[in-house]
A and B are shown apart, each in its own frame.
Chain A
Amino acid sequence: MLTVSIQKKLPHFQLQAAFQIKSETVILFGPSGSGKTTILNCIAGLTDPDTGEISLADTILFKSKKNKLPIQKRQVGYVFQDYALFPHMTVRKNIEYGAYDSLVTQQLMNLLRVHHLADKYPRQISGGEKQRIALARALATKPGVLLLDEPFSSLDEETKDECYHHLNRLKKEWNIPILLVTHDKQEAKKLGDRILSIREGQLKSLPPEAF
């Protein structure tokens, strides 16, 4: 379970976020610049909240700027908006980079059907393929939580549907909290068990039906 309760002053507003995620997919839905990515970055440790607490199961990730876990030890799988694949490594090396063991690498490559891409470089594969590699790479570390920052925003409709399908399958097999940021209503509906709507740093919980 991921528990977040943080405050952070951003240039135009105060970010306030308090929520819990069990083994489910929660959508963080809101317009650009509403603080969505900042929340993910706080969880991953790429930036610090001003005050608050973040914990994953029994591990405290953040309690104060002096009492926090370094990024490397947080066990957070993060899929960035532009994927941030390592351009100088093959697909296989990308996935193996932080992999827990070679078994999990194999398993993920099977699950996401990316075997045929193993020896290619990121520049040689399509957007949808990159997306799957980024997902496989993030999960290969066996994270305790998966964060996805608008992971499908640059894909065409057909590829999106395929990726939704993959994510839904992963969700069943992996059974960890998933927090997905998007500003696409359809996507939120299709993927989310719950939806947290965010506007100018303020969170509001919505059931998917309310959309």
Chain B
Amino acid sequence: MNFSPLTLSLQTAGIATLIVFLTAVPLARVISRKLFPGKSIVESLVLLPMVLPPTVVGFLLLYLFGNNGPIGKLLIEWFGIQIVFSWLGAVIAAIAVSFPLMYQSASASFSNYDPQIEQAALTMGASKWKVFFTISFPLAWPGLLAGFVLTFARALGEFGATLMLAGYIPGKTDTIPLAIYFAVESGNMEAARLWVFIILALGFSSILWLNWWSKKNILRFQSEK
């Protein structure tokens, strides 16, 4: 039995989740409290991949990152990096589909506490960075962690966009969802069953843990009456 789909999936989803977390969280913090013209357009664009069919996301990514696409061409010319049919393609596809989930969770978490708490810290002489790391981030943390887990689960399950951008290359781009599809197609039901079981176990345990954690933490800062 070849276990590369498992390690590849965990690796792809892990790196994608990390990148999404590091970009979506600051973006959400900056945008959620600001009012500016075109804010709803920016937010709609950010959330768009959530409602699009993965094939459409894959098509757009293929256009951007394809060997002749505006970004793909530069990457090849400047760094010699090819995105299409590569492991990086799987990471990019996972980032694109899971970004909205993290953004939405982060945006909700940052709107969830009284902005006066941050203002109080500013009046006490704290820099904006200090306020972010000592006030905003810890207060939003339960929601951010929930977003992190959802992002990972979504990245792990990505199929359509990955197939279009990274293709199915055994040992290179065969994440679990792809492995399942091609196992079924070639009649290898035993392998398909195993992968389905692993994905079910991963998904179920992350949601189970998330539920337990949020029940424990959501009441953390509310007054004991």
Using Cβ atoms and an 8 Å threshold, which residues of chain A touch B114? 82, 84
Q: Cα distance A78–B121 when bound, in Å?
A: 10
Using Cβ atoms and an 8 Å threshold, which residues of chain A touch B224? 123-124
Residues facing B in A69-112 (CB within 8 A) are 71-78, 80, 82, 84-88, 97-98
Q: Are A97 and B223 in contact (CB under 8 A)?
A: no
Q: Cα distance A80–B117 when bound, in Å?
A: 9
B123 at the interface (CB under 8 A from A): yes
Using Cβ atoms and an 8 Å threshold, which residues of chain B touch A141? 124-125
A46 at the interface (CB under 8 A from B): yes
Using Cβ atoms and an 8 Å threshold, which residues of chain A touch B220? 88
Q: Are B125 and A46 in contact (CB under 8 A)?
A: no
Closest A residue to B122 by CB, please name it: A71
Q: Are B221 and A46 in contact (CB under 8 A)?
A: no
In the complex, what's the smallest C-beta–C-beta distance from B221 to chain A, in angstroms?
4
Q: Cα distance A140–B123 when bound, in Å?
A: 12
Q: Cα distance A73–B222 when bound, in Å?
A: 32
Number of interface residues of A (CB under 8 A): 27
The 8 Å CB contact of B125, one of A72, A85, A122, A123, is: A72
A137 at the interface (CB under 8 A from B): yes
A44 at the interface (CB under 8 A from B): yes
Interface string of B182-225 (1 = CB under 8 A from A): 00000000000000000000000000000000000000111110
Q: Are A78 and B120 in contact (CB under 8 A)?
A: yes
Closest B residue to A124 by CB, please name it: B224
Using Cβ atoms and an 8 Å threshold, which residues of chain A touch B223? 122-123
The 8 Å CB contact of B116, one of A71, A72, A80, A123, is: A80
Q: Which of B116, B123, B139, B222 has the most A CB atoms < 10 Å from its CB? A: B123
Given contacts A71-B123, A76-B123, A77-B123, contact A82 B222 (CB under 8 A): no
Q: Are A98 and B221 in contact (CB under 8 A)?
A: no
B138 at the interface (CB under 8 A from A): yes
Q: Are A123 and B221 in contact (CB under 8 A)?
A: yes
Q: Cα distance A99–B224 when bound, in Å?
A: 28
B135 at the interface (CB under 8 A from A): yes
Q: Are B126 and A86 in contact (CB under 8 A)?
A: no
Q: Are B126 and A84 in contact (CB under 8 A)?
A: no
The 8 Å CB contact of A86, one of B121, B122, B123, B127, is: B121
A-side interface residues toward B, CB under 8 Å? 44-46, 71-78, 80, 82, 84-88, 97-98, 122-124, 137-138, 140-141
Q: What are 21 residue pairs bridging A and B, where the CB atoms are less than 8 Å apart in the complex?
A: A44-B123, A45-B122, A45-B123, A46-B119, A46-B122, A73-B125, A75-B125, A77-B123, A78-B120, A80-B119, A80-B120, A84-B119, A84-B120, A85-B117, A86-B120, A87-B113, A87-B139, A87-B221, A98-B121, A123-B223, A140-B124
B-side interface residues toward A, CB under 8 Å? 113-114, 116-117, 119-127, 134-135, 138-139, 220-224
